[in-house]
Structure 1
Amino acid sequence: MLNSLGIPKAPADTRVVVAMSGGVDSSVTAALLREEGYDVVGVTLQLYDHGMAVQRKGACCAGQDIYDARQVADRIGIPHYVLDYEGRFGQDVIDDFADSYLRGETPIPCVRCNQRVKFRDLLGTARDLGADALATGHYVRRVDGPAGPELRRAADPARDQSYFLFATTRDQLDFLRFPLGHLPKTETRALAERYALPVAAKPDSQDICFVPDGSYADVVTKLRPGAAAPGDIVHVDGRVLGRHEGIVHYTIGQRKGLGIGGLKDGAGHTDSDPLYVIRLDAPTRRVVVGPRDALARTVVYLRDLNWLAPLPAPGTAIPAQVKLRSAQPPAAATLTLGEDGTAEVRLADPQHGIAPGQACVAYDGDRVLGGGWIAATAP
């Protein structure tokens, strides 16, 4: 007989490691499982310098959050461990974040953290602790399907985090559990109050945890001074419109803060059409701008593809809905998978502001088929 986590053991005989960030979601996850009688062990990761962390309110894995996680563990009566993953996080997430900006990309460090730290290193630690599963507070669902576990959107679309978990492998998904995937956030808050958790009223984490004041550019230029090298702002028609203080300050699709005035024609009239960042040319340090129409793309090329659905025959065009940014609605497309971890995505309708370094995640309804990193685009 299977328990509520789909494991053929009694809850008391099932050890579950819970990744506790010190926030409401992971705290409720631990409390729920503890209430159901599971052998729960809380683990919190120290990911970066405490001196920087304590200055950053609303961040995960910071000094205050480690204290909060310990308080929750004491409240619900489970063992709690803090693991120093600062070196791994610095190399696999922060350095990758800075290098990505240096290449003119727009990175997603939260995906890298899940991919390279939480669901790789922490999952291995959970196994070493004799766990039967690793549970997190992510809003996503794991469903046992005919071909194995499937990753699906959360029941609450407003809280769905499946886009950020596209890089989860099949083996990892087999070991992972997401007890909050069927709940709205309001119910999670209500449970935190019912359990009298000390974090019940704690606000959600915002932005990137290792950016103390919300300025990504400051962090990148500190780590990679070359990202602040000046260059030209150039119109798609070749005109040089001005200068910039580093491509790190720009992302594809950006409209505000370009640092240039309106264009003027030969008669001195100002063009009222707004300008957008069309592309970033890192080798020449050029920021290319133009009208919104110049952002339109119908082909997207992916690298480092992670495919969770059964693999199709080579050359098969797979109909899907794809998300090209976390906050954008899905768009109709077809995908053709390559043999070397690549894929070509053809969009049914042009999309605007697609940025290399972001993720493209493919869905069939609420099921995550897989996804990859955007390498390039084409009209």
Structure 2
Amino acid sequence: MTDFPGAPDLSAPRKGLRVLAAMSGGVDSAVAAARAVEAGHDVTGVHLALSANPQSFRTGARGCCTIEDSRDARRAADVIGIPFYCWDLAERFREDVVEDFVAEYEAGRTPNPCLRCNEKIKFAALLDKALALGFDAVCTGHYATVVVNEDGTRELHRASDMAKDQSYVLGVLDERQLAHAMFPLGDTITTKDEIRAEAERRGLAVAKKPDSHDICFIADGDTQGFLAKRLGKVEGDIVDETGATVGTHEGAYGFTIGQRKGLRIGRPAPDGKPRYVLDISPVNNTVTVGPVEALDVSALTAIKPRWCGVAPAGPGTYTAQLRAHGGETEVTAELVGDELHVRFTEPVRGVAPGQAIVLYDDTRVVGSATIATTERAAAKAGQ
């Protein structure tokens, strides 16, 4: 591995690091910033203005990056006693996250905008700006752990509390980015209620603020409606595995592989069982549905791999996570050229191109890649 001259040992007890705390306006990032101060670091808070039109307030527990959130972050910084700034990264966020999200759905893939935001915004645009201003690290409220090896290299590990682990959405970080990442919440086993109780003890008004869910730039949670406004309604057919039309839709981009609800299929399957989305073809605007068993995937090919350290040499056995809140499954994986070839020990369901696969060696994050193609177990069995 390659060490980075000047990279601070963020796990050491040394005090006095200059830390830029990314404060979303939520309870996790506020407590993380407070803990960094308590550890003796020189902390400055920053809220990222990611919306070009942040006039609307969050609805319930949905959304973030609103004016309300920036005000909550500022109030938290005041209570903690640290300087606070609001940085406008709306244009960069629109290009790297929102436009990428729309383009992926238009191409029939299912993206994860949180991974893209961590890769392109929080640990690229924000980190680059922080380092240029003389900061040593960026601190966030993610639940994950950075381990420093004896040779000074970094590893990303799962949080101590698996129930809150967020290492999946951080699997895009490379070693240089890990060298300047600080996650104060990752190495303590505490429930969310305990984090809120800590925030209340510290006098932080966000202690009782609801968590944000879904996609931050789709505050009402209506992804299909958001895409329809951007891409327009384009009617097409919903077909079964034989090619027979069983319904219609207003845009193939509004579906994802494994989806069951909202298909609006006029007649039931011959066996009376529910049908699921098996394939999305943007070329002819067709959605294919079929039985749940047809969703079983035995292997996949992924592209654009990013490694949290040195890329693995040769085939290896790992566990893989396919969703932010999904479980682990055992796989064998090998890097072939620029592609990651993965085979599952047992078939898995609901795997869609565009999703990220993150590989683990026990608790260590090996790296991640974007799923390009899948191999159906049923198709292989029928050969």
Q: TM-score, normalised by structure 2?
A: 0.91
Does 1:215 find its partner at 2:213? no
- The CA distance in 1 between the partners of 2:134 and 2:32, in whole Å, is 19
**Shift of residue 303, structure 1, vs aligned partner:** 0.7
3-state SS of paired residue (1:33): helix
- The CA distance in 1 between the partners of 2:128 and 2:312, in whole Å, is 30
3-state SS of paired residue (2:374): strand
Structure 2 residues not aligned, in runs of 5+: 1-7, 377-383
- The CA distance in 2 between the partners of 1:203 and 1:328, in whole Å, is 22
The answer to whether the Cα contact below 8 Å between 1:52 and 1:212 also exists between their aligned partners in 2 is no
Q: Which residue of 2 aligns with 1:197?
A: 204
**Deviation digits for residues 205-262 of structure 1, max 9, x if unmatched?**
111111121101121222222xx31111011122111111111221100112211144
Structure 1 stretch 54-63 or stretch 250-259: which is displaced more? 54-63
Q: Which residue of 2 aligns with 1:374?
A: 371
**Runs of 4+ off more than 6 Å:** none
1:8 and 1:199, CA in 2 relative to 1: closer, same or farther beyond 3 A?
Answer: closer
**Deviation digits for residues 106-154 of structure 1, max 9, x if unmatched?**
1111111111111101001211221111111000111112561111111
**Shift of residue 51, structure 1, vs aligned partner:** 4.1
Q: Which residue of 2 aligns with 1:224?
A: 231
**Shift of residue 301, structure 1, vs aligned partner:** 0.7
Letter paired with 2:243: G
**Shift of residue 34, structure 1, vs aligned partner:** 1.5
1:52 and 1:111, CA in 2 relative to 1: closer, same or farther beyond 3 A?
Answer: farther
1:254 and 1:153, CA in 2 relative to 1: closer, same or farther beyond 3 A?
Answer: same
1:289 and 1:52, CA in 2 relative to 1: closer, same or farther beyond 3 A?
Answer: farther
**Deviation digits for residues 12-63 of structure 1, max 9, x if unmatched?**
x321110111100110011112223211100110000344542544332221
Q: Quick one: which of 8, 25, 29 aligns to 1:26?
A: 29
Report matched runs for 1:267-278 at 5 Å. 270-278=270-278
**Between Structure 1 and Structure 2, how many residues are aligned?**
366
1:166 and 1:278, CA in 2 relative to 1: closer, same or farther beyond 3 A?
Answer: same
Does 1:36 find its partner at 2:39? yes
The answer to whether the Cα contact below 8 Å between 1:298 and 1:378 also exists between their aligned partners in 2 is yes
Structure 1 stretch 276-285 or stretch 30-39: which is displaced more? 30-39
- The CA distance in 2 between the partners of 1:146 and 1:276, in whole Å, is 50
Report matched runs for 1:317-328 at 5 Å. 317-328=315-326
- The CA distance in 2 between the partners of 1:7 and 1:181, in whole Å, is 15
3-state SS of paired residue (2:207): coil
Letter paired with 1:192: A
3-state SS of paired residue (1:277): strand
- The CA distance in 1 between the partners of 2:267 and 2:246, in whole Å, is 9
**Deviation digits for residues 261-305 of structure 1, max 9, x if unmatched?**
4446xxxxx521211100101101000011112111111110110
Q: Give the share of equivalent positions with the same residue, in percent.
A: 44
The answer to whether the Cα contact below 8 Å between 1:332 and 1:347 also exists between their aligned partners in 2 is yes
The answer to whether the Cα contact below 8 Å between 1:299 and 1:345 also exists between their aligned partners in 2 is yes
Q: Quick one: which of 349, 353, 358 aligns to 1:352?
A: 349
The answer to whether the Cα contact below 8 Å between 2:109 and 2:354 also exists between their aligned partners in 1 is yes
Q: Which residue of 1 aligns with 2:306?
A: 306
The answer to whether the Cα contact below 8 Å between 1:302 and 1:374 also exists between their aligned partners in 2 is yes
Structure 1 stretch 33-42 or stretch 65-74: which is displaced more? 33-42
Does 1:94 find its partner at 2:93? no
**Shift of residue 203, structure 1, vs aligned partner:** 1.1
Q: Which residue of 1 aligns with 2:283?
A: 283
**Shift of residue 311, structure 1, vs aligned partner:** 2.9
Report matched runs for 1:39-188 at 5 Å. 39-58=42-61, 59-146=63-150, 148-183=153-188, 184=190, 185-188=192-195
1:129 and 1:98, CA in 2 relative to 1: closer, same or farther beyond 3 A?
Answer: same
What is the alpha-carbon root mean square deviation over aligned residues? 1.8
Q: Which residue of 2 aligns with 1:233?
A: 238
- The CA distance in 2 between the partners of 1:7 and 1:141, in whole Å, is 13
The answer to whether the Cα contact below 8 Å between 1:133 and 1:175 also exists between their aligned partners in 2 is yes
- The CA distance in 1 between the partners of 2:30 and 2:13, in whole Å, is 25
The answer to whether the Cα contact below 8 Å between 1:98 and 1:220 also exists between their aligned partners in 2 is yes
Q: Which residue of 2 aligns with 1:267?
A: none
- The CA distance in 2 between the partners of 1:133 and 1:7, in whole Å, is 13
